Amino acid sequence: MCGIVGYIGSNPCVDVLVSGLEKLEYRGYDSAGVAIVRDGVLETRRAKGKLINLKRAIKAEPTDGLLGIGHTRWATHGAPTVDNAHPHRSGEIAVVHNGIIENYVELKRELVGHGHVFASETDTEVIAHLVNHIKTARKLSLVDAVRAAVRRLHGAYSIVVVDASEPDVLVGARLASPLVLGFGTDENYLASDVSAILNHTRDIVFLDDGVLATVRAGSVTLTDIETGKEVEPVIKRITWTPSMAEKGGYKHFMLKEIHEQPRAIADTLRGRFSLERCEVDLPEIPVTAEQLQNISQFYVIACGTSWHAGLVGKYHFEDLAGLATHVELASEFRYRRAPIDERTLVLAISQSGETADTLAALRDAKARGATIISICNVIESSIPRESHGTLYTHAGPEIGVASTKAFTTQLAALHLLAIRFGHLLGRLAPEGVVRELEALLHVPAMMEAELEREHDYASIIRSWHQVHSMLFLGRGNLYPLALEGALKLKEISYIHAEGYAAGEMKHGPIALIDEDVPTVVLNPMDAHFAKVRSNLAEVKARSGPVLTVATDGDAEADEIGDFKLTVPDVPETVLPLMMSLPMQLLAYYMADFKGTDVDQPRNLAKSVTVE
Q: Which residues bind ligand AGP (CB under 6 A)?
A: 303-306, 350-352, 355, 358, 401-403, 491, 604, 607-608
Q: Is 175 helix (H, G, I), strand (E, B) or coil?
A: strand
CA distance 61 to 59: 5
CB 391 within 8 Å of CB 353: no
Closer residue to ligand AGP (CB): 6 or 304: 304
Q: Check residue 535 and give left, alpha or beta (phi > 0: left; psi -120 to 50: alpha).
A: alpha
Catalytic residue among 50, 531, 540, 606: 606
Closer residue to ligand AGP (CB): 191 or 482: 482
> Residue 53 CB, nearest distance to ligand AGP (Å)?
25
> Residue 605 CB, nearest distance to ligand AGP (Å)?
8
Closer residue to ligand AGP (CB): 306 or 519: 306
Is residue 540 part of the annotated active site? The answer reads no
CA atoms in the 13 A half-sphere facing the CB of 570: 23
- Measuring CA to CA, how many Å separate 174 from each of 33, 150, 257, 498? 20, 9, 20, 44
Closer residue to ligand AGP (CB): 289 or 605: 605
- Measuring CA to CA, how many Å separate 507 from each of 503, 504, 510? 8, 5, 7
Closer residue to ligand AGP (CB): 173 or 265: 265
The residues with which 155 forms a beta bridge, in sequence order, are: 101
Closer residue to ligand AGP (CB): 67 or 264: 264
Catalytic residue among 2, 278, 303, 376: 2
Q: What is the dihedral of CA 521, 523, 524, 530, to 10 degrees?
A: -170
Nearest-10 crossing angle of helices 14-23, 51-60: 170
> Residue 587 CB, nearest distance to ligand AGP (Å)?
10
> Residue 372 CB, nearest distance to ligand AGP (Å)?
15
> Residue 303 CB, nearest distance to ligand AGP (Å)?
4
CB 285 within 8 Å of CB 417: yes
- Measuring CA to CA, how many Å separate 342 from each of 76, 108, 298, 372, 388? 30, 38, 12, 11, 13
Closer residue to ligand AGP (CB): 43 or 491: 491
Give just the sign of the alpha carbon dihedral 438, 439, 443, 449.
positive
Residues in the chain: 611
> Residue 489 CB, nearest distance to ligand AGP (Å)?
11
Residue whose beta carbon is closest to ligand AGP: 304
The residues with which 205 forms a beta bridge, in sequence order, are: 181
CA distance 610 to 600: 18
> Residue 380 CB, nearest distance to ligand AGP (Å)?
15
Is residue 606 part of the annotated active site? The answer reads yes
Closer residue to ligand AGP (CB): 261 or 403: 403
> Residue 75 CB, nearest distance to ligand AGP (Å)?
17
CA distance 441 to 112: 33
CB 37 within 8 Å of CB 87: no
Other residues' Cβ atoms within 10 Å of the Cβ of residue 553:
10
> What residues are labeled active site?
2, 606
